[in-house]
Amino acid sequence: MSEKETSPTILQFAPLNSSVDEGFWHSFSSLKLDKLGIDDSPIPITGFYGPCSHPQVSNHLTLLSESLPLDEQSSVASTSHGNRNKCPVPGILYNTNTLESFDKLDKQSLLKAEANKIWDDIQSGKALEDPAVLSRFLVISFADLKKWSFRYWFAFPALVLDPPASLVELKPASEYFSSEEAESVSAACNEWRNSDLTTDVPFFLVSVSSDSKASIRHLKDWEACQGDHHKLLFGFYDPCHLPNNPGWPLRNYLALIRARWSLETVWFFCYRESRGFADLNLSLVGQASVTLASGESAETVPNSVGWELNKGKRVPRSISLANSMDPTRLAVSAVDLNLKLMRWRALPSLDLNVLSSVKCLLLGAGTLGCQVARTLMGWGIRNITFVDYGKVAMSNPVRQSLYTFEDCVGGEFKAVAAVKSLKQIFPAMESSGVVMAIPMPGHPISSQEEDSVLADCKRLSELIESHDAVFLLTDTRESRWLPSLLCANANKIAINAALGFDSYMVMRHGAGPTSLSDDMQNLDMNKTNKQRLGCYFCNDVVAPQDSMTDRTLDQQCTVTRPGLAPIAGALAVELLVGVLQHPLGINAKGDNSSSSNGGNNDDSPLGILPHQIRSSVSQFSQITLLGQASNSCTACSETVISEYRERGNSFLLEAINHPTYLEDLTGLTELKKAANSFNLDWEDDDTDDEDVAVHM
């Protein structure tokens, strides 16, 4: 073998790279704005890193929101101990108040000062007690909080050995240890990593006895290890993945070894892992030669290097977080956290894009409307339109959660006040309010009112067409007729909620008539049970009529137990979410609580999807019901929808002005006549007793 092949080479180290989580800058911005002000004193921070865990990717030293001090008086940053992937490393942050001050910082002096701290810790023995100080780092920064932009530069001070360490040998750990030794070393490393007391201690000793038994000990136990080992290696968590280079932490480690124990030959162990366990194929074992220059003592302070390169250049990094650090955008991220966490385990198939893009129309901004709106926001729905004609009354705020006393005094329309409230709760809401009355059958109008009423009909139709889901939350039964008809005509999702004194009903309307709906022409009707679900009026044998005239005060107001609206409103939203997450959407069949195997459980991640939910709070009971669409329905039948499409406004005017028109049109009038004229003929029982056979 030639002399060139046997001569040792200079040991080269893979630089450590930085990573800054956006949460760090957000926390720092709050600290700067709320507490630090113009104080530019150095701030203690904590970085985190762990051993390499992937054969092709190195780990970084990371700054997180918890890297900053707990408060401005704290002399140390908050640390997280016992986390195997977050070994804490002490650092210092120098933040300047101006960009000019940042550019004028004496970077070499700052680097040297931190390197001297490392050297002092080596000389004093602190590095043996807390070896994480060997990886001490510093950051300089300038934060432009007006533009949410940050300029920063990391330094990882490394003591320069003179002469430099030379590499004698470097190989995978699996090739250095025998099979018995490798098994024992792996077990010892895993035990070290699994203990809360040692998992985040990044520097250690690996001792292998002559009988191939390995143990791991703290650096401060070095003297105790002498003479009782076959092999003794200086181990450290190596963030680097490269097969031919150890990571940056080894530099100061070698300086410690040479200064404390005057060793000239060092066996080191670059610990790396895979899937949370020691990986001796990825880990490295090497031998380095560390000597002192002639005339140099072990106490001489070495020079230092360590400023991080940015794409190969000695320049700072910069980042703009305007999009994510604006409070409104941060709020969007924060309020969606619960929904995103649902997808981790509970609901992996939850489609958040469907929820965030759906447009909801709330007809009625009273007690139910307020509860529905709040629950929709919780599900990540951002686009809500209110339709209501009333103003906020003094009795409303205690029951209707979107209103305040100021809304009452100011005489605010509910539709307007509700929008304002939603945007105060969450500024990213896309909400609007429409002040209008809903035309109702059984409430005749004069010829002078026709244009205004028809304009309202047109406006309501346009609103329903431009939204994906409609909630019917109005006070009267007849005010739900026109929205039910328009939803059936447009094949829109309609959710109905109604309150009694101590009972409530929540239901979803089925799709529009099959023969009139283009969306259902190619639908496999076997999947929808062949029959569409009914609407709010399908079980009626009379047309909706005036329920407001000649009523006492308690009959005019919605007198109900206060707990009903939150329950019914929440269930109404849950029904909508179930429909949106179901593959058949509005065409999904109706389940009940006794459905075998949970009804739609195989299709919907949220469980069964009922048609109707009815409850009595006085009995604390709840049932789910299923009702099919009626051919004589005054709102969603094919007869009514066809008539509406053919006659338009004239049909609407006739339905509004003539209470019996809808009954005549759908055949309910004839049905009632037939029922009234139907007589039961009872046969006399003249059977003699003796004609009855008795079997004993």
Query: Which residues are the active-site residues?
Result: 557
Compute the distance between CA of residue 15 and CA of residue 306 in angstroms, rounded to an integer.
8
Compute the distance between CA of residue 76 and CA of residue 67 in angstroms, rounded to an integer.
10
Compute the distance between CA of residue 339 and CA of residue 689 in angstroms, rounded to an integer.
75
Compute the distance between CA of residue 667 and CA of residue 503 in angstroms, rounded to an integer.
31
Compute the distance between CA of residue 190 and CA of residue 182 in angstroms, rounded to an integer.
12
CB hemisphere CA count around 673 (13 angstroms):
6
Place of tokens 């762990």: 50
Residues 6+ apart with CB under 8 A from 531: 628, 629
Residues 6+ apart with CB under 8 A from 296: 162
- The backbone torsions φ and ψ at residue 352, rounded to the nearest 5 degrees and listed phi first, read -75, -25
DSSP state of 49: E
Compute the distance between CA of residue 665 and CA of residue 540 in angstroms, rounded to an integer.
14
Structure tokens at 182: 């490798």
Is the distance from CB of 636 to CB of 513 less than 8 angstroms?
Answer: yes
Structure tokens at 328: 């409104």
Measured in residues, the chain has a length of 696
Residues 6+ apart with CB under 8 A from 179: none
**CB atoms < 10 A from the CB of 491, how many?**
19
Reduce the DSSP state of residue 307 to 3 states and report it.
strand
DSSP state of 643: H
Is the distance from CB of 319 to CB of 278 less than 8 angstroms?
Answer: no
Place of tokens 């509406």: 644
Place of tokens 């009855």: 692
**CB atoms < 10 A from the CB of 672, how many?**
13
Compute the distance between CA of residue 376 and CA of residue 577 in angstroms, rounded to an integer.
9
Q: Which amino acid is at 186?
A: S
Closest CA to 154 of 26, 320, 306: 306
DSSP state of 589: P
Q: Which amino acid is at 161?
A: L
In what helix (H) or strand (E) does residue 219 lie, and over which residues does it extend?
none
The torsion defined by the Cα of 30, 33, 38 and 42, in degrees rounded to 10, comes to: 0
Closest CA to 257 of 306, 295, 203: 203
Q: Which amino acid is at 51?
A: P
Structure tokens at 642: 């066809």
